Structure 1
Amino acid sequence: METVNETAPVMVLGDVHGDIGWMRDACKTAASHGVQTIIQVGDFAWNWPGRDKLKFGIRVEQFLAERSLHLVLVDGNHDNHAELRRLPLDADGFGIMGGHMRYAPRGHRWTMHGTRFGALGGALSIDRAWRVLDKSYWLEETTTLEDVARLGTEPLDVLLTHEAPAGIALKAGGKLPQEIEWEAWENRKLVAQAVANTGPSLVFCGHWHQRATQALHHGNTRVEVLGMNGDRDGAAVLLHLTSALSAAVRARPRVAPVRITGT
């Protein structure tokens, strides 16, 4: 997958939760910075079951088309996994969500301007006791060993996940039941394993509804945790891609803050 303009930055966007107004503002902001591709790191809530199931996707497709933008989704726990997994694939291996929207299946890899990307979606819904199976949560929501294996061990420059890898300290919202806490930690360990396998210089994730930047204690990986809809200063960044100096020397893509402006 290549951008039309190799100098155009990529917007990486945190949790959206089906917020139409937020996506309108995000698309407007992206276009104002010369962005052509938005990568969204999960909890997009496309085709979320309910009376207005299709409305969000239709409106987002309009916003993207109006500004000649394309969106790539990495799935989170609050996404319709049943429908995402049924999507037909395009020639590059992405699920076709619409004319301007694509889904990056778990383990999928692609290249933009020489930068090697990988996708590893999934996370645990810590509130699933109050959710309804196959309507507001899905058994497929969590990352699996098979997903990590599918991603492989070839080096990456950027790994896109929903859950944060183990080894990153984040603010918790409160005490969880022991079983839920354990399952969530197991998912984080799988993400950390994928990081160790592929050695990316950058990891982007969401899920925690907060903005944080931390380096993992081993290797050369920096983790960028993104905020959620409503967090105008913390929910998105601009990623400036840098061509590799050689096969052995690769510069880390530059990450710049961006504020999601309102209408």
Structure 2
Amino acid sequence: MNVLFFEVTLLFYFLGTTLFLVQLAGRWEGIWKPAFVVAGIGFFFHTLALVSRMIEGGHIPLTSMHEALSFFSWALVMFFLVVELRYRVHILGSFILPMAFVSLISAAALPKEIRVLEPIFRNVWMHVTLSLLGTVAFAVAFVAGLMYLIQEHMLKSKHLDGLYHKLPALDFLDELNGKAISFGFPLLTLGIITGALFAEFARGSFLNWNAEQIGALGTWLFYLIVLLGRVTVGWRAKKAAYLTVVGFAGVVFTLVGVILKGQHPFA
């Protein structure tokens, strides 16, 4: 059943992405309402897919790249739904849902079989969950930074068209950027620590210096510098937006490398 629920989720995320992109293009102002409903239905089926996969596999479904990308997509949509209900930032779906859809399409292209885990690997979900939630927060910071740069460019060029009026205020985007990084960095830190402890327990070594671990440490160091810059020397607004866009590009590059090498989240 998890495969059926997964495929239904893909359909609804595709429809939701299409509707939100139509909204972004300014073709239909009220289209955010059906788009939000479609995204919510997709999230419901996505949750069913994850739960049914957990029941079928007998463990938390976070032990393969397929499952990790699916969870990343699920968490992104959950964040969007929560923020939309609280702040009514309709345009956010035009950025978040396409990202979630691309993540789910990538998951669909990877092997979907449920792995039979040795007992020693059954607790790895904690490390993967923390790391992925941190990555979701960085994705949100990326979206906030991207919207900030778009709006800031429109202001400078005095190109104040329909898109400009749909974007949130610059102060809100800068605040969202900072909060997302402040939320994601501790999660990634805990993810790295639990991953190192798990590696020591499973293999007798805290670090294997593989691509995933090097990428994770590089990401951690980059966002540490960004966070310290915001707190100590006032790296905000445009500079912070550029840094988070560049940082998330590095996260995506690392993730693609891990997928191409066929490594699992706990490799």
- TM-score when scaled to structure 2? 0.31
The structure carrying a bigger helix percent of its residues is 2
Name the TM-score, length of structure 1 as normaliser. Answer: 0.31
Please say which structure displays the higher CA radius of gyration.
2
